[in-house]
Chain A
Amino acid sequence: DTGVSQNPRHKITKRGQNVTFRCDPISEHNRLYWYRQTLGQGPEFLTYFQNEAQLEKSRLLSDRFSAERPKGSFSTLEIQRTEQGDSAMYLCASSSWGSGNTIYFGEGSWLTVV
């Protein structure tokens, strides 16, 4: 079990550019979550997948954000036309019935928009 893997770990981009983050969950975890965390705050929920189905999206997830989980394995989070307010750490987590409903986080992907 290699844990939740996120790439890239750090990304600096210019305002207006598009960025994509990838998450590889713990193998056989069918639930996958994306959260956003800014300095001094707790993780804020963005979106949730069960297998390949995106079941919930937060109102924080504007139309510039899109997430996919093709084939129910890895997931991508894309931010289009980035803004400085998008600067944050994007956390991916996964869980399953077998994990006792505990969600396990990756190391996060830091985004800095300049």
Chain B
Amino acid sequence: AQSVAQPEDQVNVAEGNPLTVKCTYSVSGNPYLFWYVQYPNRGLQFLLKYITGDNLVKGSYGFEAEFNKSQTSFHLKKPSALVSDSALYFCAVRGPGGSYIPTFGRGTSLIVHP
């Protein structure tokens, strides 16, 4: 069975400071990892993914994520937070074959203070 843990329900950061949103995963085989963002009353928007290759993945809106196989983590990062980054962030994982169905974490609410 595949699973995702997002250990922080909420992350608070001041505008201009770096931010990190944590994600750890469990899956059989090489993981396919994803980050999505959700604004109030909206669907989920794709930010970035890791499938293979460089462990540091760059995505939309200046976000990046680092894949760490030994720690089974895929933390989302941004060097300088904006107030407009305030939203819900979801990490997702799926295994390499067969079922193409990602499992999502419970989400982390990011609040960026002016």
Binding site for B on A (CB under 8 A): 4, 6, 31, 33, 35, 40-45, 48, 50, 56, 91, 93, 95, 100-108, 110
Name the CB-closest residue of A to B51. A101
The secondary-structure label for the interface of chain A is strand
Contacts of B73 in A (CB 8 A): none
> How far is A62 from B102 in the complex, measured between Cα atoms in Å?
21
Q: Which of A42, A48, A102, A107 makes the CB contact (< 8 A) with B43?
A: A107
Name the CB-closest residue of B to A10. B41
Q: Which of A33, A42, A91, A106 makes the CB contact (< 8 A) with B101?
A: A33
Determine if B58 is an interface residue (Cβ-Cβ < 8 Å).
no
Q: Is the CB of B51 within 8 A of A56?
A: no
Q: Is the CB of A45 within 8 A of B51?
A: no
Q: Is the CB of A108 within 8 A of B51?
A: no
Contacts of A31 in B (CB 8 A): 100
Q: Is the CB of B45 within 8 A of A43?
A: no
Q: Chain A's nearest CB lies how many Å from the CB of B21?
A: 13
| Residue contacts A-B, CB under 8 angstroms, 9 given | A42-B105, A42-B107, A48-B100, A48-B101, A56-B99, A95-B100, A101-B100, A102-B34, A104-B46
